[in-house]
Each structure stands twice: as structure tokens, then as C-alpha cells.
Structure 1
Amino acid sequence: MKLSARSRYATRLLLDLALHNDDTPLRTTVLSESTGITVQFIEQIIRPLKKAGLIKSKRGATGGHILDKDPKTITVGEIVRIMEGGITLTDCVSDETACERSPTCRTRQVWQRASEVLEQELDSISLADLMTHPNDSILLD
């Protein structure tokens, strides 16, 4: 499985907002400079994150974007689910009708279990963890 750029960049964007969470909205251009994500892509990423209640935006001269939830409560798993529509390695994991072989497939359970483990691992890592352990391997703690 390869995560889309949307998931990776959304995580980077939310982490940047969390690191600058002082109630001062950050403009899209500032976010672009600090994350290396283009303004156009940020605008695409922000829509689903706002809809999910992770970001709020303010218009006007002092406008911009700000994190709308505590970084401790936002997990990488949540971000990936928002951006990807779920965390599954194959279509048959989330939709048994996606493959005619699903009811008798001997390998489907492998993909189901691997998807569950991946989801659990991503759900165990919050933005606060990433803020606290910037260069450490938080997975080895």
C-alpha cells in the first residue's frame, strides 16, 4: 500500500498548525512556505479537514487557518481515513462485494488482519506525539 500525497501532506499540514497553535491563524502562503506544499494543494487538502472539524478558517486581513482540535486527540489514522476514505490494503477488506471471490478467498483474511494492524498503529500516533518526538522513532518507544 502506498499512501497518497494527500494523506502525507495533510499530516504535515496539521502538524505545522499544531506546532504554531497559538490562536493566530496562519495564511495559506505561510503554510506553503513552512511545509513545502503548494498553495493550490493546501487549498484542496484543507476542505476535507475543515469538513471533519480538524481545521477552522478565518477570513479577512488577519485571517488564515488554525487547528480546531487538541493535537492529542488527532491521530495519523484519523487523518488517513479522512483523506483516503479508509485504511484498507485491498478493496475486498472494506467491501466484500468488491470481488466475486471474497466469500471463498483464502487470502482475504490476511489483507483484513494487515489492514487492522496498520489502522491500529496509525491510530496510536497523535499529532502531539509527533510534536514531542520530532526526530525520534516514536514507534520504538
Structure 2
Amino acid sequence: MKLSARTRYAARLLLDLAQHGNSENPVTTTTLSEVSGISVQFIEQILKPLKKAGLVSSVRGATGGHMLTRSPEEISIGDVIRIMEGGVELTHCCQDDIAKECPRTERCLTRVVWLRASRALEKELDSISLKDLIDGVVTLSE
């Protein structure tokens, strides 16, 4: 699985909002762009699915901007990937609806490997919250 730039940037933007935004001080798109190095236009594209999924809300007006709708403890990296990529599966055949259409599903000897790896990856990504990243508790040696 190779993550898109949109997904990687979505995680960065959510982390910026977790650190700096709240209902009293929403973060403007311009500020997000300056802090992240991501263009305003791309940020707006990235925020659409995050808003639709209920992770981000926006306030209009002179003091408006964007903020998280849930606490950083409640948002996992797995959530971000599912929203931006549509899932965590390593292959298309790991998705039940597609597997039903595949004529090889019943006799495929490798599908179990892709399923196990996808589930392990999803479990790991779900175990890491935005707060964990902000607090620096996630390390490579875990």
C-alpha cells in the first residue's frame, strides 16, 4: 500500500488543527498553508472529505477557520486512511464486495496472506491517535 499525498497531508493538517485550533480560535486555511507548506487550493480539497466524515468543521467570517470536531484522542491514523483512501486493504481482493466478484477467491492461496497483513496493518494504524503523535509516544522501536 502506498499512501497518496492527499492522505499524508490530511494527517498533517489534522495534527496542525489538533495543536492549534479550537472553537474559540479556528485555524484559517491561509495559516494552515503557511504552517504546512501545502497550497490553499490543495488544503481545501483535502478538507472536503474530512468535513464530510465529521472530523473537521468550519466557521465563516473574519474570525473563522477550521477546527476538529472530535478530540485528538478519538481520531486515529486508521480513520484518516479510511476516509482519504477508502480503506486500509493491501489489495482489492481484501474487500468483501470485490472478493465475491473474483472467480479465484475460493481457490486463491495467497488471499489469506493479504487479508492477515491488511488486518494487522489496520489494527496498528487504529492504535495510533493524533494525541499519541502530538505527545511523542509513538516510536519505531515499539
Partner residue, 1:21? 21
Deviation at 1:102, TM superposition (A): 1.5
Matching residue's letter, 1:125:
I
Deviations for 1:48-90, whole angstroms, at most 9, x for unmatched residues? 1011111110011111101111000100000100001111000
The residue number in structure 1 matching 2:6 is 6
Which consecutive aligned stretches of 4+ in structure 1 deviate over 3 angstroms post-superposition?
none
Higher deviation after alignment, 96-105 or 8-17: 96-105
Q: Distance in 1 between matches of 2:10 and 2:109?
A: 35
Query: Which shifted more, 119-128 or 90-99?
Result: 90-99
Q: In the alignment, which residue of structure 2 is the partner of 1:97? A: 100
3-state SS, counterpart of residue 88 of structure 2:
coil
- 1:66 is matched with which residue? 67
- Answer yes or no: is the 8 Å Cα contact 1:10–1:45 preserved in 2: yes
Please give the secondary structure, in 1, of the residue aligned with 2:57.
strand
Q: What amino acid sits opposite 2:17 in the alignment?
A: L
CA-CA distance at 1:103 after TM superposition: 1.5
Deviations 1:13-52 (A, max 9, x none): 0000001134311111110110111111110111110111
What is the TM-score normalised by the length of structure 1?
0.93
**What SS does the corresponding residue of 1:65 show, helix, strand or coil?**
strand
Distance 2:60 2:138 in 1: 38
The two structures have a TM-score, normalised by structure 2, of 0.92
The Cα of 1:131 is off from its aligned counterpart by 0.5
Alpha carbons 2:55, 2:68 under 8 Å: kept: yes
Amino acid across the alignment from 2:41: Q
Deviation at 1:140, TM superposition (A): 2.6
Q: How many residues align?
A: 139
Instruction: Tell me which residue corresponds to 1:57.
Output: 58
Answer yes or no: is 1:46 the counterpart of 2:33: no
Equivalent position SS for 2:38: coil
Cα drift, residue 100 of structure 1: 2.3
| Structure 1: runs of 5 or more not aligned | none
1:79-94 map, 5 Å: 79-94=80-95
Contact kept? 2:22, 2:68, Cα under 8 Å:
no
**Greater Cα offset, 92-101 or 5-14:** 92-101
